[in-house]
Amino acid sequence: MQLNKNIRILLNQFLKKKILTISEIQDILNLKQRSCYLYIEQLNDWLKELKLKPIDRDKNLNYVFAEEAKTIEEILDKDNIYYYSNNERQDIIIFLLLIYKTVSTKELKRILNVSEITIRNDVAEVSKIYKGIFDLSFQKNNIQIKKINEINKRSILCKIIKSSNKFINDFLNEIDSKLFLLLLSLLEEKCLITISNYLKDVIIKFLKAIYLSLFINPVSLDGINSYNEKNSKIIFRDCKTFSEIEEHFNEFFSQEKFKDIFLNFKECKNTALFEKENVKDEFNYFCYFILSGNISWKIKKMKIDNYEKISSSIEKLIEKFEQETFVYLNNKNMVIEDLTKHIACAYHREKIKFTFLLENIPNFIVKYNNYFLAIKKNIYIVEQLLDVKFQDIEIYYILLHLISNIVVEKVATVNVAIDCNDINSVYKFLYNELNNQIKNCNFFDIKFIHSLKNIDLILTTNSSKNIYENSNIEVLYINKFLVSHDIEIIKEKVKEIISKKESTKDINNFYEIDNDTSINNVINILSSQFLNNFIDETYINNVYKRLENNMNTVKVKDNIVVLHANINEGVIKNGYCISVGIVKGKEFYSYKNEKIKIFIFVVPDLFLQHIENVSNLITVCSNVDLNLDSKIILKEIQNKWKTL
């Protein structure tokens, strides 16, 4: 049994004085003699339960406490009882009644650690506060809630959740963790991936935001506890599409307590999580609502009431995204059209089922791969290395973490090396003309490439040189001033290469991220389309020479942080994406004092906002084998770096 407030007060007095009279006990507790006898009896029950000496009476009828004080104090130190305030108790009572509709006074006494009289007084106070919104009634030893509609119910729940009540937070955390870890196990089974503990925490946070914001009734703990991991994996093992997963969700969670969670994602206008001050960027709002299935409410907030306005707003948001991140979309018109259809559909329906989330996240990834290309691979690495969170766009990052681990299959890419003098004009023309028609082309300045191992196509303006004849790589000779005819030839050649790659694609070509993955492997996995093996000593030296002339460096103590353009562009200037390399002298150093090759991709404005963390970035980059969940290694690296 747990000690309530009065019993604990009485016990503390016995520990101090050892002997108390009944009148002294009455004064201490400010209660009648009858109540005092009851508390003494309950305290004795607690002592007997712990096999300790009970309180006895001496010849003068005084109450004597015989147990050693030290023994009791040790027990009390381990028994961290939390006493709720009047408002907290009332919130807990409402919360449990809204979820379960009926709650026993015995259960409330156990949770709140107060007497039944206090509970009845709290219930009476709750009835006064919410008079006209719902009714409370006593039936034997149970309290019931009656006559409350769904809108009022969700409004009250959102208000209670926002109050940061300890019991409610603990209650939700316990349910969410079990529920979402269940969902993640299904995701891992379907996508053939292993998600690290770090990413599980991030994805749970994302799902919890949806869960709490729409506030579907939480499932009972009994339902979660009865989940059989082995049996569920058999159910989901043969799923090939997200629609099939949803069908199995419906089957597995057919019980009433599970049904609302996965099938009734409805619009909610009364949530603190979607208030403007919590998300400072309209584009982040936009991404969040697309993927959370809560689009229609956002559309109404933006006062969009027809198809043309939706399309126009999407276009503006995308333009803003491109300007701020230097990441440009392929097939922008198609993206705008597709997103407009989704949002317009959601707007007219005024609700979106969980099907939308399951079926459309993969579609967004496949269709709009370049849309997320730079950031989805960068944020994970940068946050790991800096050990910081960029709070101002945290929701956006959570989405990107989620996205980068739901992608099942790597998309075939064509790596094009450009050999010409006027690289700037050729690159821009190629990017604008070719990338708008064919996705997943990576362009490289051949001067920076030490090995042509992973190059699929070389474009050169110099037809007199036959230096590539023995390379077994496709070579196209182009005019210095590209024309539409050149573009058509390049386009056909790229399509041909993509077709060959698709036909030979390995069936096991999946992303795998686990706790044992080194930081180098993470960079290779999440930045696969940037061909990290190109960043060798020759490449670094070439970049460094350019930097000495262009002064695009930031000095931190004796170390140089190199800011240069996207590898795709290969030119030292403001490009579509900024990469950050850490140079000490002209070499990279690992934790074991060996040369390494690490570049971290970040968008420029984010890096400049956190320039004060550069020294930490340098420190962590010096370790090749940094595990994703490691905290201890960080300190070891910092100490090691100081000695270099």
Whether 49 and 94 share a structural domain:
no
Using CB atoms within 10 A of its CB, is residue 23 exposed (0-12), middle (13-18) or buried (19+)? exposed
The CA-based dihedral angle spanning residues 137, 138, 143, 145, taken in that order and rounded to the nearest 10 degrees? -10
CB neighbours (10 Å) of residue 225? 8
Task: Give domain status of residue 22, yes or no.
Answer: yes
Residue 11 one-letter amino acid? L
Whether 638 and 512 share a structural domain:
yes
Whether 420 and 493 share a structural domain:
yes
158-187 confidence digits (pLDDT tens): 677 666 677 877 766 655 455 455 555 544
CA dist 456 and 443 (Å) reads 11
Task: Give domain status of residue 163, yes or no.
Answer: no
- Domain at 49, CATH number: 1.10.10
Task: Give domain status of residue 483, yes or no.
Answer: yes
Q: Which of 50-54, 211-215, 543-547 has the lowest mean pLDDT?
A: 211-215
pTM value surpassing 0.85: no
- More reliable by pLDDT, 604 or 2: 2
Among 79, 95, 116, which residue terminates a domain? 79
- Domain at 374, CATH number: 1.10.1790.10
Whether 516 and 637 share a structural domain:
yes
Whether 548 and 637 share a structural domain:
yes
Among candidates 77, 76, 75, 53, which has minimal Cα distance to 65?
A: 53
pLDDT for residue 158:
60
Q: Element (H or E) spanning 528, and its range?
A: none
Q: Where are the alpha helices (DSSP H) in 350-479?
A: 354-367, 369-386, 394-406, 423-434
CA dist 135 and 76 (Å) reads 39
Whether 399 and 422 share a structural domain:
no
Task: Give domain status of residue 298, yes or no.
Answer: no
Task: Give domain status of residue 123, yes or no.
Answer: yes
328-359 confidence digits (pLDDT tens): 555 566 556 655 654 554 444 333 333 333 33
Average pLDDT, the chain: 54
Determine how β-strand 135-139 pairs with β-strand 578-583. Answer: unpaired
Domain of residue 64 covers 5-79
pLDDT for residue 208:
46
Whether 484 and 548 share a structural domain:
no
Task: Give domain status of residue 159, yes or no.
Answer: no
Among 503, 527, 545, which residue terminates a domain? 503
CA dist 364 and 243 (Å) reads 16
Among 150, 165, 192, which residue terminates a domain? 150
Whether 513 and 630 share a structural domain:
yes
CA dist 22 and 29 (Å) reads 11
The total domain count for the chain is: 5
CA dist 206 and 211 (Å) reads 9
Q: Which of 3-17, 310-324, 456-470 has the lowest mean pLDDT?
A: 310-324
CA dist 295 and 480 (Å) reads 47
Whether 44 and 129 share a structural domain:
no
CA dist 323 and 281 (Å) reads 14
Task: Give domain status of residue 66, yes or no.
Answer: yes
- Domain at 556, CATH number: 3.40.930.10
List C-alpha distances in Å: 56 to 18, 21, 75, 97.
11, 12, 20, 42
Helix (H, G, I), strand (E, B) or coil at 44: helix
Residue with tokens 């109404």: 300
Task: Give domain status of residue 214, yes or no.
Answer: no
Residue with tokens 């944020």: 379
61-74 confidence digits (pLDDT tens): 778 887 666 677 66
Whether 580 and 563 share a structural domain:
yes
**pLDDT above 50 for 60:** yes
Whether 458 and 383 share a structural domain:
no
- In 85-225, at which residue ranges do the beta strands (DSSP E only) sit? 102-104, 135-139, 142-146
Whether 44 and 121 share a structural domain:
no
**pLDDT above 50 for 622:** no
Q: What is the average pLDDT across 407-416?
A: 53
CA dist 578 and 374 (Å) reads 10
What is the b/e burial string over 228-243, where b = at least 16 CB atoms within 10 angstroms of the residue's CB?
Answer: eeeebeebbeebeebe
Using CB atoms within 10 A of its CB, is residue 623 exposed (0-12), middle (13-18) or buried (19+)? buried
pLDDT for residue 481:
67
Give the residues across from 56 on adjacent strands. 64
pLDDT for residue 358:
33
- Domain at 136, CATH number: 1.10.10.10
CB neighbours (10 Å) of residue 207? 19
